[in-house]
Structure 1
């Protein structure tokens, strides 16, 4: 599996549907469903360890997870929050560690901080690890008010810095997606929303990558709540449940970090 192959998945007629895993078992199950590329979810990694998301608390956990997943038979992209540092050179060195561990892509979010600093991080990563696919995320719709001019300004800076793709979570309106696409020279990544357009509709608009983010992790937690409520209240408990042996088989395949 190569970085070039991962980049090529962003230039096909059908958008890349990128599911996000939080441990070896979830990644292995997704790979078994035929997904060529899998991302990580920073919320899932953090919450599973009892740590907050988005506060640079999971740097070591993320690297350990990538060392475990990076040898899998799929292309791995890493949700790296803001790079776990405000020093572009430190972010670049950490990106190099991720690439050495088997990652082919990295997701870097600006958190609505300085666009110039975020662009410097992107440029530093691309200089240190040219083949690593950098997906530059802006949080204008996620944390801000969705100002279109600010979104375009930030994404233009990230493109100029060398980003291979850009990501705007929280943007779901088809008309606004179409308008944004006209300003871009790199593939656009949209976060799937159950209340938003389907993957096929997003593809028709021109979106080239659709991420699931923390959705699968949160749905897994929801299944825990539903199952225990059914058992407690005497109802039959349904749903797709891998057997003990199925899960054991996944664990036996896990390389040591």
Structure 2
């Protein structure tokens, strides 16, 4: 199936979000057909706060590496790292990815929808095959957080050429179902505690992203390993060194071709 077709399968596409090469390799090894990046995780790995436009260089470097994996890659490019639609489109065209995630906020606030719409239209012209997932941050930042307001923004982005709509922060079944009914494109939400992948599919969701959750869980697990040893508890089991090393060897061989 193509990356576009994965959004129209029997179940919602579950997109795990990687923050470095190792996590992307692990997700691919686990059998996921597509892997996204997480701007939070990429920023955190560099010691920078999220959503400040600082992850461009790290994101480009990461994507350049992981596109060698035999899976589709979707890049989180925040707001495109520029206000110039042409610059954003040129960046997307250079990445060689199957999809991108483009936010409609900056500095923790929603922007005029005409701004991301212009970027989406420019991407569509320069990279017509890239799946553009337009992120509506109304619920994320509690601003214009109503179904009609989100649907209106989504319609602007759909008209500009978006392929999907991402609404992070939508977290109750009734709201998600209403959004899916009101938005004419595949709806993407974050993992919602208490709502399984199948249940989200029943509500009309076509894609579920893990976002920064795997990164944050991984950090917690790393701390737990160290504290377990310190406190005399049995440390958890993990993928063996040999298996982890072999994945890296295989990846290196793939990228050296």
Contact 2:181 2:204 in 1 (8 A): no
Q: Aligned partners of 2:42 and 2:242: how far apart in 1?
A: 24
Match 2:17 to one of 17, 20, 43: 20
Q: Of 193, 203, 206, which residue of structure 2 is paired with 1:205?
A: 203
| Residues 134 and 165 in structure 2, CA contact (< 8 A), matched pair in contact too | yes
Residue 20 of structure 1: how far off its partner (Å): 0.7
In the superposition, the TM-score normalised over structure 1's length comes to 0.93
Kindly indicate whether structure 1 or structure 2 has the higher relative contact order, using CA contacts under 8 Å at least 6 residues apart. Answer: 1
RMSD after superposition: 1.3
Q: Which residue of structure 2 aligns with residue 172 of structure 1?
A: 171
TM-score by length of 2: 0.93
Moved over 6 A (4+): none
- 8 Å contact kept, 1:188–1:208: yes
Q: Distance in 1 between matches of 2:158 and 2:142?
A: 20
Give the conservation status (yes or no) of the 8 Å contact 1:167–1:190: yes
Partner in structure 2 of residue 231 of structure 1: 229
What CA deviation, in whole Å up to 9, does each residue of 1:58-117 have, x standing for no partner?
111111111100111101001110001011110000001112xxx100000111111110
Paired residues for 1:1-257 under 5 Å? 5-99=2-96, 103-111=97-105, 112-145=110-143, 146-193=145-192, 195-239=193-237, 241-252=238-249, 253-254=251-252, 255=255
Measured in 2, the distance between the counterparts of 1:45 and 1:247 equals 21
Shift of 1:246: 2.2
Q: 5+ residue gaps in structure 2?
A: none
In 1, distance between residues paired with 2:212 and 2:158? 25
Gaps (5+ residues) in structure 1? none
Aligned residues: 248
> In 2, Cα distance between the equivalents of 1:19 and 1:113?
27
CA contact (8 A) 1:172 1:196 kept: no
CA distance in 2, matches of 1:152, 1:233: 51
Q: Cα gap change, 1:95/1:248 in structure 2, threshold over 3 Å: closer, same or farther?
A: same
- Aligned partners of 1:115 and 1:191: how far apart in 2? 22
